Structure 1
Amino acid sequence: MGKNMKTCRKIFCIALGLVWVSPFVLMILIAFNSNNSTSFEIILNPATWTLENFSKAWNQADFSRGFFNSTLVTTVSVFLILMITSMAGYALGRFEFRTRKLFIAMMTGSMIVPAVFFSIPLYQLLKILHVDQSLLGLILVEVCGAHVMFVLLFMKHYQNLPDALEESALMDGASPWQIYWKIMFPMARPVIGTVVITQTVWTWNAFLMPLILTLNNPELRTLSVAMYAFQGENIVDWGGMMAAGCIAVIPMLLLFVSFKNCFISGVEGAVKE
C-alpha cells in the first residue's frame, strides 16, 4: 500500500511538472519556427525551425537597447530597495517608539490596495519632477513602490536576533550605523537572498509603468515593453514575440540556477522566522 502511494505521488508530481513546463516548451517551439503559426503540426516540423526570429527580436525590436535598459533599471532598483527595506526593517524590529504599532498596521493594511490604483498619481508626480521621460523615472517607480512584505521580513528577522549582539557592540563603542551595517545586515543573508531574487524577477518583468513612461520614447523601453512591438493592429508576430520572450527569460533562468541554493535558504529562513 505504501509503495503504491509513493508511485502515485511520483506520477502526480511528474504530471504536474509537465503541465507547468509545457508553456515554456511551447514558447521555445514557436520561437524557432519560421512560419507565423501556433499550430502543433507546423511548429513540430523540424523543416520549419530557424534562428531568424531571434535575430529579428534582437535587431528589429531593438532588444539590445531594451536589454541594457532593463539591466540598469533592475540593478539600481534592487540595490536601493534592499537598502531601504533592510534599514526600515531594522528600525521597526530593534527600536521601540510611540507610533511603531500604528505604522506597522498602516503598512500591512496598504498591501490590500492594488498597485494599479497608484499608476496615474505616480505618473503625475514623475511629471512634476520632470523625470517621466527618463530611466530615472522607471527606477523611482520601482523603488518607491509598496515593498511592505520585504520590510516585514527584515523586521521579523532582526527581532529574532539576540540582544547580546547589540549590547556587546555598544560596549565596544560601535555606533547604531556600525551595528546595523557590520553586524545586523550581514546576519540577514537568508532574507537578503529572498528580497534580491524576488525583486529582480518583479522588476525585470514589470510592464504597466514601463509601458506608460516609455510609450512615446522607444529608446527607454525595457524588454517587457519591447516585446509589445511584435503585436500589430491586425496581426501578431508570434515567432518574434516568443523569441523575445526566450531572450527575456534567459537572464532570470541563469540567475535562479546560479543562486538557487541562496533562494531556497532564503525562503526557508523567512518561513522559519
Structure 2
Amino acid sequence: MTLPRRTLTHILLLGIGFAYVYPFLWAVGSSLKSPMDFLDTGLGLVPPTFMWENYATAWNQASFGTYFLNTVIISLLTVVGTLLLTAMAGFALARHTFPGKKTLIGIIGATFLLPHGYTIIPVFDIVKALGLLDTIWSVVLVQVGGGLVFGTFMFMAYFQSMPKELEEAARVDGAGYNTLFFRVILPLSRPMAATLGLFTFISSWNNFFLPLVFTFGKPELRTLGVGLYAFTSETSTKWTLLCAGAIISLAPIVVVFVVAQRYVVDAIAGAVKA
C-alpha cells in the first residue's frame, strides 16, 4: 500500500472512529453544562462553564445510590448464575453423547431466536406464580434464563476445543465427575468465563425492560437504567442531569471492560484457533 493510500485509509478510519465515539463525548460534555448552555451550544463538546455539581445533583435527586446498589446486586447475581449453569450445560453437551443430543441442541438453538416480547407474558405469569414478583430475585431469574442458550453454546464450543487427555489424566488420578469439572475444567475455562461474564454483566447492567416489568410495583428496587427516567416528565426533560446520570451508569462498565479485556482477547483467539 502506497503512502497516500495509507494516509487516506487512516484518515477514513479516524473519521469513522470519531463518529462512533462522538455521542459518548457529547454526553460527557453535556453532563457538565448548565441548562442554558446545553440549549445554546447544541452539539458542541466543550461546555463554556464546567458544572461538576451536576453529578452530585443527579446522584441525590434520582436516588442513584439505591439504584446503583440494586444494579450491582442484580448484575453480579446474574453473572454468577449464568456462568455456573451454562458452564455445566456446555460441558455436558461437549463431552457426553446421548440419544436425541442433536435434536436437543437444535431445540435449544431455536429458542435463541425468540424475541423477548413474545415470551414476556408467560414468563411474567411463572414469576408471579412463584411469588417472586417485585423482588430482585425475579429480575435475576429472568435474566439468567435469558442468557442460558448463548452461554451454553459458547462454553460447549470452548470445551470441545480442549484436549481430552486432560480429563483422562484427571480420571487416572482418581478425580470424580464433580472434582474433574470444578477443579480441572472450570479453572481452565477462565478466558471464556471472563468473556461471557463481561457480556452478561454489560447486558444486565444496561437492561431496561426486564427490571421495569418485574419491579414495577416497587420503585425502590429499580435499576440505574430505569432510574434515569426520573429526569423526564410529561412536560420537560432535565437533559444535563440525564447526561450526568448516563455517565454515572456507564462508568462501571468501562472499568469492568478495561480489567477483563485481556481475557476477552484470549477467549476470541482460542475460539478462532479451534
Shorter-chain TM-score bucket reads over 0.9
Q: 1:108 to 1:238 in 2, by over 3 A?
A: same
2:246 paired residue number: 245
Going from structure 1 to structure 2, the CA distance change for 1:110 and 1:39 (only over 3 Å counts) comes to farther
Contact 2:139–2:214 at 8 Å: present in 1 too? yes
What code does the residue aligned with 2:28 have?
I
Alignment partner, residue 2 of structure 1: 2
* Structure 1 residue 151 displacement after superposition: 0.9
Preserved contact between residue 134 and residue 216 of structure 2 (Cα < 8 Å): no
Q: Secondary structure at the match of 2:166?
A: helix
Structure 2 gap segments, 5+ residues each: none
Equivalent in the alignment of 2:160: 159
Of 52-61 and 247-256, deviating more is 52-61
> 1:167–1:31: structure 2 CA closer, same or farther, 3 Å change rule?
same
Structure 2 vs 1, CA of residues 139 and 118 (structure 1 numbering), >3 Å: closer, same or farther?
same
For 2:145 and 2:245, the matched residues in 1 are separated by 28
Whether contact under 8 Å (1:69, 1:220) holds in the other structure is yes
Going from structure 1 to structure 2, the CA distance change for 1:169 and 1:254 (only over 3 Å counts) comes to same
Q: Secondary structure at the match of 1:259?
A: helix
Percentage of pairs with the same residue: 31
Q: How many residues align?
A: 273
Alignment of 1:1-273 (within 5 A): 2-35=2-35, 37-40=38-41, 46-273=47-274
Please report how far the alpha carbon of residue 118 of structure 1 lies from its aligned counterpart in structure 2 after TM superposition.
Answer: 1.7
Is this contact kept in 1: 2:30–2:47, CA < 8 A?
no
Pick which of 193-202 and 38-47 moved more: 38-47
Tell me the TM-score normalised to structure 1 length: 0.94
Tell me which moved more, 14-23 or 35-44. Answer: 35-44
Q: Encode CA deviations 1:146-195: one digit per residue, 9 max, x unaligned.
A: 43222111111211222222222222211111111111111212211210
Specify the SS of the correspondent of 1:49.
Answer: coil
Which residues of structure 1 form unaligned runs of 5+? none
3-state SS, counterpart of residue 168 of structure 1: helix
* AA in 2 matched with 1:60: Q
8 Å CA contact 2:71–2:223 kept in 1: the answer is: yes
Write out per-residue CA displacement over residues 184-242 of structure 1, whole angstroms, 9 at most, x where no aligned residue. Answer: 11121221121011111000000001011222311101010100111101211111111
Q: Distance in 1 between matches of 2:160 and 2:26?
A: 46
CA contact (8 A) 2:136 2:215 kept: no
Q: Which amino acid in 2 is paired with 1:14?
A: L
Structure 1 segments, 4+ long, off by >3 Å, are 36-39, 41-48
After superposing the two structures, state which structure 1 stretch, 79-88 or 125-134, moved more. 125-134
The residue identity in structure 2 corresponding to 1:107 is I
1: distance between equivalents of 2:42 and 2:122?
Answer: 48
Structure 1, residues 14-48: CA drift from partner, whole Å, max 9, x if none? 11111011000110111111116354359667444
The 1-side partners of 2:124 and 2:39 are apart by 37
CA distance in 2, matches of 1:235, 1:24: 23
Q: 31-40 vs 70-79, which deviates more?
A: 31-40
Q: What is the rounded CA distance, in whole Å, between the counterparts of 1:229 and 1:270 in structure 2?
A: 42
Check conservation: 1:53, 1:239, Cα contact below 8 A: yes
Q: Which moved more, 1:124-133 or 1:73-82?
A: 124-133
Question: Is the 1:190–1:270 Cα contact (8 Å) retained in structure 2?
Answer: no
